[in-house]
Amino acid sequence: MDEQWRLFAAIELPEPVRERIGQEIERLRRLGWQAKWVSPQGSHLTVKFYGSVPLPALPRLQEALRAELARMSAFSIETAGAGVFPHLARPRVLWLGVDGELEALASLHQRVEGVSLELGFPAEERPFHPHLTLARFRPEDLPSLRGLSRQLERLAALPPLPIPVQALTLYRSELRRTGAVYTVVDRFELEAVR
Ligand code: 2AM
């Protein structure tokens, strides 16, 4: 059987955003919150999760994404807001939100879904909710999340930090006992804005 890689396409975050994610995780940890925290250096905004992809299918996907993204203009978003999925009564994922050129971001997502579907990768059924994951909660973590609403308000009130979107990055995710390890497989540049 062909070797398979678990892949996803995402927007890389600039250093100040990764620093903020690290600082906020530290703050929540100090409050005693229990969670599976993301590694701030590898944090990203997921655009498309592929799951397991057979290696022989990879070159065509890379070629298609490179061609499609070269036809899109670079744009800019920024951090804004915070929340939990699926909702406050059952928090599973803690995230920071984004604002700014959200139409361009939605269009990037649609175009990536489009070329992926043409190559046989099924489209995501859930609507696209762009977010930066900080933590994932297991049911046993929930009693430790004291002041959740207050902390969400505080996170949402942080000043915005810019996220220039000049490329889409294809990552490999390897699931290890100590957590997922992400490595960059390829980077697809958007057309620079003149
Ligand atoms: P996230 O965007 O909420 O953090 C690698 O696993 C990345 O792909 C993570 O950022 C993860 O969630 C995202 N992702 C999206 N759909 C996924 C799925 N069905 N399984 C695993 N990860 C998924």
List, by residue number, the catalytic residues: 44, 131
Q: If you take atom 2 of ligand 1, which residue's CA is the nearest one?
A: 46
158: Cβ contacts below 8 Å, ≥ 6 apart: 20, 24, 79
Question: Is residue 156 a part of any domain in this protein?
Answer: no
Q: What is the pTM of this model?
A: 0.96
Residue 76, pLDDT score: 98
Please say whether the beta carbons of 133 and 78 come within 8 A.
Answer: no
The residue to mutate among 37, 49, 170, having the most atoms of ligand 1 within 8 angstroms of its beta carbon, is 49
Question: Is residue 144 a part of any domain in this protein?
Answer: no
Q: If you take atom 1 of ligand 1, which residue's CA is the nearest one?
A: 133
Q: What b/e string do you get for 108-136 counting C-beta neighbours within 10 Å, with b at 16 or more? A: bbebbbebbeeeebeeeeeebebbbbbbe
Question: Is residue 147 a part of any domain in this protein?
Answer: no
Question: Is residue 122 a part of any domain in this protein?
Answer: yes
The CATH code of the domain that includes 62 is 3.90.1140.10
Is the CB of residue 169 below 6 angstroms from any atom belonging to ligand 1? no
Residue 178, pLDDT score: 86
Is the CB of residue 85 below 6 angstroms from any atom belonging to ligand 1? no
Give bridge partners of residue 83 from the DSSP assignment: 95
Question: Is residue 45 a part of any domain in this protein?
Answer: yes
**Regions of the chain with pLDDT less than 70:** 194
Residue 9, pLDDT score: 98
Question: Is residue 25 a part of any domain in this protein?
Answer: yes
Is the CB of residue 173 below 6 angstroms from any atom belonging to ligand 1? yes
Question: Is residue 93 a part of any domain in this protein?
Answer: no
Is the CB of residue 8 below 6 angstroms from any atom belonging to ligand 1? yes
Residue 194, pLDDT score: 58
Question: Is residue 170 a part of any domain in this protein?
Answer: yes
Is the CB of residue 93 below 6 angstroms from any atom belonging to ligand 1? yes
For the chain, what is the domain count? 1
Q: Residue 27's domain spans which residues?
A: 4-78+101-128+161-189
Residue 134, pLDDT score: 98
